[in-house]
Structure 1
């Protein structure tokens, strides 16, 4: 993984087999991972890496698709597990041309450190490079971390990915309403509304609006709502891609 590659890590208090199942089964994976709309495994021989197709709905009227190849090590001498993949999209509308990455599952006390490192090559020349640096790469990092926390909620609390999304949208709406109300409150002319109480209102309204503004912007998310901020986003110095990744062919 290059210095500009993405790294996301979370800790999930669940069994290793349960986490493996929710991440390796495409029917489960596409439910919690915001980056994918559809994932389908293709037929293969038992001893071959697994090939798959994926699709991502970028806009209501635009879906980009690609192919990938993955392999996993379910039993390792140190008790960890690893999954590696390479992927590519031939769609010229996809800014993401090709890339590679890995998942690691590291038992840790009563839980598992679940982490990923991945990188990709953007297309569209200099414009694509600039767009990736300013927009796509930060968005991909956020979406991965948000999805990892969504997976954690599913495994730890039994909150389904669909319910977690509704919780997030509800909280986002509430914050937006509070924010809009707070901003509107800062511009209220208390003299015309409160008559004799105008001096008191002139003092209290801005104060209440500032408190509401602070809550809307900085209050921590609900424990039942996915949040990217709960994940580690900086790779440790020792982080490196697994050897398994070098054995995978580039998908056609």
Structure 2
């Protein structure tokens, strides 16, 4: 998998599973999605879902996916895997796959929540270049930032909405400091800008830098992912409720 994100979340495994597997909870903390809805499926089949992301005020890109999970494994871990695709011509992401792993920490202090995923961009060579230089780094940052927002929710009770407000206020304060330096003390404006950039975020503000972004040598996709087969986009049907696994 090309993208790998890992966070240590000091929370109950069942709570973490619920906050990540239930669409109503998932879309609150994950910056990458504005909508996640389950689609009807036959009993025993992998769960199908629809997702949507608002990329501009007037543009929403949607797609469909299929997922399956293992909530009880002999080693105490849990796994969720999915394949997804978007038929929207303006979506750079054409299709992809990924997984979530829930690994109880060896010291008993929380859960290692990690993801690995990859996708194929559209638009030919232009799409590949755009993805490598802009979109893929942005997706990695957004995933890590979202994982830390989830951590704050479960560890400190800071709701995703409050966490986003904290981030916006902190960013505004930093920008105001730089603007004030440019206007009133231009000789030190560059130093002020560098300081604002290097200062760590407040403990109540989500930060992508708190997550591990490099996959360990032993990381590999779960076998359950291969069982989902290739992803073929399908038109959404009526909304229903369910679980990823």
> How far apart, CA to CA, are the structure 2 residues paired with 1:70 and 1:37?
18
Matches within 5 A, 1:51-200: 51-108=48-105, 109-187=108-186
* 1:35-71 deviation digits (Å, cap 9, x = unpaired): 0000000122331110000000001111000000000
More helix by share: 1
> How far apart, CA to CA, are the structure 2 residues paired with 1:117 and 1:220?
26
Matches within 5 A, 1:202-221: 206=187, 212-221=192-201
> How far apart, CA to CA, are the structure 2 residues paired with 1:179 and 1:76?
51
Per the alignment, residue 203 of structure 1 pairs with: none
> How far apart, CA to CA, are the structure 1 residues paired with 2:196 and 2:180?
10
Native 8 Å contact 1:183 1:213 kept in 2: no
Structure 2 regions of 5+ residues with no counterpart?
Answer: 234-245
Q: How many residue pairs get matched?
A: 230
Native 8 Å contact 1:69 1:251 kept in 2: no
> How far apart, CA to CA, are the structure 2 residues paired with 1:251 and 1:19?
30
* 1:143-168 deviation digits (Å, cap 9, x = unpaired): 00000000000000000001100000
TM-score w.r.t. the length of structure 2 is: 0.91
TM-score w.r.t. the length of structure 1 is: 0.88
CA RMSD of superposed structures (Å): 1.2
Structure 1 regions of 5+ residues with no counterpart?
Answer: 188-205
**Structure 1 runs of 4+ with >6 Å offset:** none
